[in-house]
């Protein structure tokens, strides 16, 4: 197998998981651990499969090809460790920027971001788990804005548990239903939309509210 084929299989492991299980057996647990860890740990890997991968893995657990308990424990650990690494990278960069006087950095904006994450960061960290790309950047921004490590870890673990369990369990019970199996991409997009729309509406409501209050004053 050449490197391009290997990369293609990793990038589309949600579609080729059966081949991985047939060819590599229990080594597939390490592959899935690495994918979830990298997607959550490094902002350069937001393109790696997440939601669909977890759902498909759940379907293979239902057929007996994988052990659901081992899978869930390993992937929760991968997601929590990944977010923690991402948080520390963001924190390291944030501290360096705050220690120096960069003209292009608005420290007042950074302070406001820090206050936002202290107040609403917990909800952001948990909800971001269910939104592709956003979940890769949320822990980085939390660290960059100096959200307290204790608060971050509480919601990091909670978000990781909810994310992994909800999708693996959903795949376990519903993934082998023909309609769902044949329309997985559409269902994932609907799920992403269901997660994003309430957040966008909430932000628009807050923006509109603050805009009209300023106008009144």
Confidence (pLDDT) at 36 = 94
Examine the pLDDT at 2 and tell me if it is beyond 90. Answer: no
* 196 part of a folded domain: no
Tens-digit pLDDT profile for residues 90-140: 988 877 766 666 555 555 656 666 676 777 778 888 888 888 888 888 899
* 123 part of a folded domain: yes
Tens-digit pLDDT profile for residues 37-47: 999 999 888 88
Examine the pLDDT at 180 and tell me if it is beyond 80. Answer: no
Whole-angstrom distance, CA of residue 93 vs CA of residue 191: 33
Task: Give the helix/strand (H/E) hosting 203.
Answer: helix 184-216
* 61 part of a folded domain: yes
CB 161 within 8 A of CB 76: yes
1: helix, strand or coil: coil
For CA atoms 180, 186, 191, 192, the dihedral sign is positive
Residues 6 or more apart in contact with residue 154 via CB below 8 angstroms: 122
Mean pLDDT of the chain: 78
Predicted TM-score (pTM) of this structure: 0.77
Q: What is the 3-state secondary structure (H, E, C) of 54-85?
A: HHHHHHHHHCCCCCHHHHHHHHHHHHHHHHHH
For CA atoms 13, 17, 21, 22, the dihedral sign is negative
Examine the pLDDT at 179 and tell me if it is beyond 80. Answer: no
* 201 part of a folded domain: no
* 215 part of a folded domain: no
* 192 part of a folded domain: no
Examine the pLDDT at 192 and tell me if it is beyond 60. Answer: no
* 213 part of a folded domain: no
CB 185 within 8 A of CB 52: yes
Confidence (pLDDT) at 74 = 96
Range of the domain at 20: 3-177
* 117 part of a folded domain: yes
Examine the pLDDT at 217 and tell me if it is beyond 60. Answer: no
| Candidate ranges 64-68, 123-127, 176-180, 196-200; pick with highest mean pLDDT | 64-68
Residue 29 binned pLDDT confidence (cut-offs 50, 70, 90): very high
Counted domains in the chain = 1
Q: Per-residue pLDDT averaged across 146-152, rounded?
A: 88
């Amino acid at each position: 197998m050449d490197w391009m084929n290997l990369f293609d299989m990793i990038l589309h492991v949600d579609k080729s998981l059966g081949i991985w299980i047939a060819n590599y057996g229990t080594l597939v647990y390490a592959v899935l651990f690495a994918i979830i860890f990298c997607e959550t740990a490094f902002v350069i890997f937001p393109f790696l499969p997440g939601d669909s991968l977890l759902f498909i893995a759940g379907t293979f657990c239902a057929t007996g090809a994988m052990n659901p308990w081992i899978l869930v424990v390993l992937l929760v650990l991968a997601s929590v460790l990944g977010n923690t690494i991402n948080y520390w990278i963001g924190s390291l960069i944030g501290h360096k920027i705050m220690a120096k006087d960069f003209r292009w950095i608005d420290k007042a904006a950074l302070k406001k971001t820090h206050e936002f994450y202290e107040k609403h960061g917990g909800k952001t960290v948990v909800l971001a788990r269910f939104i592709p790309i956003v979940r890769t950047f949320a822990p980085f921004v939390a660290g960059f804005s100096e959200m307290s490590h204790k608060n971050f870890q509480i919601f990091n673990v909670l978000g990781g548990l909810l994310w992994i369990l909800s999708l693996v369990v959903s795949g376990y019970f519903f993934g082998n239903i023909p309609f769902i199996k044949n329309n997985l991409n559409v269902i994932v997009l609907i799920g992403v939309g269901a997660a994003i729309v309430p957040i966008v509406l909430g932000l628009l409501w807050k923006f509109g509210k603050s805009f009209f209050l300023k106008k009144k004053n």
